[in-house]
Amino acid sequence: MASTVTNTKPRARTKARADTGGQVQSLARAISILKALSRADDGMTLTDVALTVGLPPSTTHRLLTTLQNDRMVRFDHGSTLWHVGVEAFVIGNAFVRSRDLVVMARPIMRRLMEESGETVKLAVEDNGEVIYLAQVECRETMRAYRAPGTRVPMHCSGVGKVLLARQGEDKVNRILQRHGLAQVTGKTLATPAQFRQALSDIQRQGYAIDDEEHAIGLRCIAAAVCDEHDEPIAAISISGPSARISDEKISSLAGMVTKAAAGIAGELGGVRPVAA
């Protein structure tokens, strides 16, 4: 009897581990599909999804169908394309609502938009990239727009550069080694020497400028929001056409955005930097 018990228990534990592993694998695969669809504004075919996530089409279709049942994805029969579903949006929106950062920042962002007349954005660093959390659009016909959830490189964005300027040398090196300094426009700072000098200037002046480095015709002025340890937790920016954000206006706009960053930091109990 003892021998029988000894032999059966390990088999039971092994089966449990295999079942759990299978469930985790399916979850990981489903998440990878959602991530792929979130990066495709126009939707994806079944074949494109399968190739992107590295799964057989049959497995991909089974997972997509399961996600569709819970409205996490949706299928457009007319175009035969898969898209992110409404429930995924609901979940993501709940995350944004739960962040004190966005809740506290939004009134200040709105005042900054009114004062500057330009679109205001809030962003954080995530895995060496910038991800936008929220924005308040200005009323101009021509205005900057970046959908919340959009990712952009750090080296060619105002919010990215101001966050990097407050990081230690080791972290800056890791991010640059991982993502490089891609030449996005003719004005992108694409050499290490140029970029290091830019970070030094940002540290000195307290704000960063994206001078058509990510998109031709668009300028951005950004300042960091710091926590109680003076560590950067987010960045706030003013963005607009370079025709409106002229050289003569940069100084006054920089003062506005650094004051707004200080206000958000104060609401969160962080450090209020000296305005430019």
- Residue pLDDT tens, the chain, 276 long: 333 333 433 433 433 333 445 568 899 999 999 999 988 888 999 999 999 999 999 999 999 999 999 999 999 999 999 999 999 888 877 666 555 788 889 999 999 999 999 999 999 998 889 999 999 998 877 667 677 888 899 999 999 999 999 988 888 888 888 888 888 999 999 888 889 999 999 999 999 999 999 999 999 999 999 987 888 999 999 999 999 999 999 999 999 999 999 999 988 776 655 444
Among candidate residues 54, 89, 124, the one where a domain is terminated:
89
Among candidate residues 37, 66, 89, the one where a domain is terminated:
89
Do 157 and 246 belong together in one domain? yes
Q: Which residues pair with 50 in a beta bridge?
A: none
Do 195 and 64 belong together in one domain? no
Do 139 and 180 belong together in one domain? yes
Q: Which residues pair with 82 in a beta bridge?
A: 44, 75
- Domain hosting 43: range is 2-89
Do 146 and 230 belong together in one domain? yes
Identify whether the C-beta of residue 133 lies closer than 8 Å to the C-beta of residue 148.
yes
Do 79 and 119 belong together in one domain? no
CATH number of the domain encompassing residue 78:
1.10.10.10
How distant, in Å, are the alpha carbons of 79, 147, 148, 240 from that of 108? 42, 19, 17, 18
Among candidate residues 217, 163, 160, the one with its CA nearest the CA of residue 189: 160
Do 121 and 70 belong together in one domain? no
Beta strand 218-226 pairing with 232-241: antiparallel
Contacts of 215 (CB under 8 A, 6+ apart): 185
Do 190 and 246 belong together in one domain? yes
Among candidate residues 89, 119, 145, the one where a domain is terminated:
89
Instruction: Report the predicted TM-score, pTM, of the whole model to 2 decimal places.
Output: 0.65
CATH number of the domain encompassing residue 184:
3.30.450.40
Q: What is the number of domains present in the chain?
A: 2
Do 65 and 111 belong together in one domain? no
